[in-house]
Amino acid sequence: MHAGIKGLLLATFCAVSLASAQTSPYAGQEQRAIKSLSEQDVSGLLNGAGAGFARAAELNGYPGPMHVLEHTDRLALSAEQRSATQLLLTQHKARARTLGEQLVNAERDLDKLFAQRAADAGAVDAATRRVGLLQADLRAEHLKTHVAQTALLSAEQVRMYSVLRGYTAANPAETPHAPSSGHAHPRSN
């Protein structure tokens, strides 16, 4: 290979390597209104979306009200269960939206500390503590809603929910580690 072409290839390779090595995975996020939250994150928080906060409950056999209502017929919900589940969902969404708005505002305040060059150890401690407590409150809200929903269902409905959501096989003998529904408080229908 000609020395000039070799040198050009080497220079091009080095330039490309240097450019990619200097690009941060955060590149472009500096344009966000709140640097730590995407527009999708903000929208989800303001709308009371789950955002995975209840995954510990959901994947351990504690159904959530939104998905219970999606499967009303297959779960054979009684009118009382349907009504109680709808009320639970409505109340939960209201609480989750309020907490989500508070969390967005707390993240905005934290972002402002840095944007206004006012960050110091004490201010960061206070702002991150507020964010953390709101995250904990929001996650607890989602998890407690799954606990309350489970109490509205029979053990068989909890098992069927797990099947409908794809977490366990239709025949419990086929899935040795199926979520236990022993925590359910069967309700007389």
User: How much is the pLDDT for 54?
Assistant: 96
- What pLDDT score does 46 carry? 96
First CA to last CA across the chain, in angstroms? 83
For the chain, the residue count is 189
For range 148-171, the mean pLDDT:
95
Shortest CA distance to 163 belongs to which of 155, 154, 172?
172
pTM: 0.78
The model's pLDDT over 174-189, given as tens digits with 9 standing for 90+, comes to 544 444 444 444 443 3
* Cβ–Cβ under 8 Å, residues 74 and 170: no
Residue 156 pLDDT grade (very low, low, confident, very high; cuts 50, 70, 90): very high
- Residue ranges of the alpha helices (H) in the chain? 3-22, 39-46, 55-58, 65-70, 79-115, 121-151, 155-164
Alpha carbon separation from 85 to 73, 81, 136, 156 (Å, rounded): 13, 6, 24, 17
User: Which of 92-96, 107-111, 159-163, 181-185 is the least confident region?
Assistant: 181-185
Beta carbons of 126 and 36 less than 8 angstroms apart: no
Which domains does the chain carry? 38-171 (1.20.120)
Task: Give the per-residue pLDDT at 32.
Answer: 84
Comparison of pLDDT for 18 and 114, the residue scoring more: 114
Pairwise CA distance, residues 110 & 5, whole Å: 52
Q: Which amino acid belongs to residue 94? A: A
Interval 25-53: pLDDT, tens: 888 888 888 999 999 999 999 999 988 99
Model pLDDT, residue 182 = 44
Long-range contacts of 134-141 (CB under 8 A, 24+ apart): 134/99, 134/102, 134/103, 134/106, 135/103, 137/99, 138/45, 138/53, 138/96, 138/99, 138/100, 138/103, 139/53, 139/54, 141/53, 141/92, 141/95, 141/96, 141/99
Q: Which is nearest to 99 in space by CA: 58, 140, 129?
A: 140
Report, as an integer, the average pLDDT of 84-108.
Answer: 98
